[in-house]
Amino acid sequence: MRGWLYLLSAAVAGAIITTPALIVFVLGGGSVDDALFAALATLMLTSALLVVTMRDIIRCGLAMIVAFLALAGIYVVVGAPLVAAAQVIVYIGAISVLILFAIMLTQSKAGPARLVFQTQAASAAVAAIILVVLIALAVSATDWGEASSRVRLATDTLARVLFGDYVLPFEVVSVLLLAAVIGGIFIAKREDEPT
């Protein structure tokens, strides 16, 4: 019985995600890229909403992985395949696992808390809606001076710029990562154990 329920909910989720893509593709006369963008954007926004609204925090973590994966797809559509690969490796491979482990370390046995939201959740929702409307208005009102189509970057060009012009920030970031690793170990270490 539960298996059928899971199958049904998967079918409904798939329908919700593919509907905008079909609308763009069939009714709007868009290209395959447009349909792909619509489907990935819907998937990303839906799973991001699930991250901030679901009660069980481990499910929030899994929904966050889906949102990161959809965002990696959007990076491919926009023409930055190296950033998409880094997104999969860094976010899905490292940060998500870190967050899932932290969830397992801090979950109490009583299960998820009764109250998921703070008392200011309603005003936070109103502020968020106002913010997204303002961002949309500002984006549509500004002339960014952009090209009419996107450029796909070759990875070797990127590597040449990264290890040429940007070699100093690259080294600084590596030192920052080392400092973060040492700091994380030091902060999370038990204090009562002999040092």
| Binding residues among 57-96 for other proteins as defined by CB under 8 A | 57, 60-61, 64, 67-68, 71, 74-75, 77-80, 82-83, 86-87, 90-91, 94-95
Sequence-ordered list of residues with C-beta below 8 angstroms from that of 50, at least 6 positions apart, any chain:
59, 60, 63
Closest CA to 51 of 105, 123, 103, 120: 103
**Binding positions for other proteins, 95-114, rule CB under 8 A:** 95, 98-99, 102-103, 105-108, 113
- Could you tell me the two tokens for 189? 């270490």
Cα(111)–Cα(167) distance, rounded to whole angstroms? 48
Q: Least separation, in Å, of the C-beta of 121 and other proteins? A: 4
Q: Which of 2, 120, 194, 195 binds other proteins (CB under 8 A)?
A: 120
In the window 5-34, what residues touch other proteins (CB under 8 A)? 24, 28-31, 33-34
What's the rounded Cα separation, in Å, for the pair 108 and 81?
Answer: 40
Q: How many residues at the interface with other proteins, by CB under 8 A?
A: 93
Indicate whether 180 belongs to the interface with other proteins (CB under 8 A).
Answer: yes
* Least distance (Å) between residue 18 CB and other proteins: 15
Q: Which of residues 130-159 bind other proteins (CB under 8 A)?
A: 131-132, 135-136, 139-140, 144-153, 157-158
- Six-digit token string for 141: 């009102």
